[in-house]
Amino acid sequence: MPTPRQAQPHELNDLVELAHAFYLEDGFATPPEQLRANLANLLADDSARVAVIDNDGGQLLGFAITTTSFGLENGPIAELEDLYVTPESRHAGLGRALIADSTTWASRHGCTYLEIVVTDGEQYTQLIRYYHTAGFSHPRTLLRKRLS
């Protein structure tokens, strides 16, 4: 089983390709240029972890992005913002390995919770079930307002 590791700046192009495929699969229209800029910032940010998992040949098979924030109620928390495994690499435990990596990273950073937001869509029920089996629960509903 491959082990997740911190993504390196020289892997930015491969990460952009994975992120773009992920967003297309989920129906998001974020342009690759914006994904590139955001990924570059995340790779340079100590309050974020961009973990990747690859095969023996170094080909990226998936990634997870975890960030931290601080709030009055819980202090430091982490959010597993993105989790993606290429379709041909699914059902091999790579997603679970990336979740475990995010959990370990968040714990090391003193976070009290690891949160994840599941977006409504065709796979909503399947994703909720998947994350429940990984130990997540849904005690809150997140609403958001777009800021201009």
pTM over 0.85: yes
Contacts of residue 59, defined as CB under 8 A and 6 or more positions apart, other chains included, come to none
The answer to whether residue 144 scores a pLDDT higher than 70 is no
The confidence band for 147, taking pLDDT boundaries of 50, 70 and 90, is confident
**Tens of pLDDT, residues 19-35:** 999 999 888 889 999 99
Lowest mean pLDDT of 1-15, 110-124, 130-144, name the range.
Answer: 130-144
Contact 45, 59 (CB under 8 A): no
Topology of the domain covering 5-133: Aminopeptidase (3.40.630)
CA atoms within 13 Å, Cβ hemisphere of 79:
11
d(CA 16, CA 128): 26
**Domain-wise residue ranges, the chain:** 5-133
The confidence band for 131, taking pLDDT boundaries of 50, 70 and 90, is confident
Q: How many helices (H) and strands (E) does the chain have?
A: 4, 5
Beta-strand relationship, 48-54 and 60-71 = antiparallel
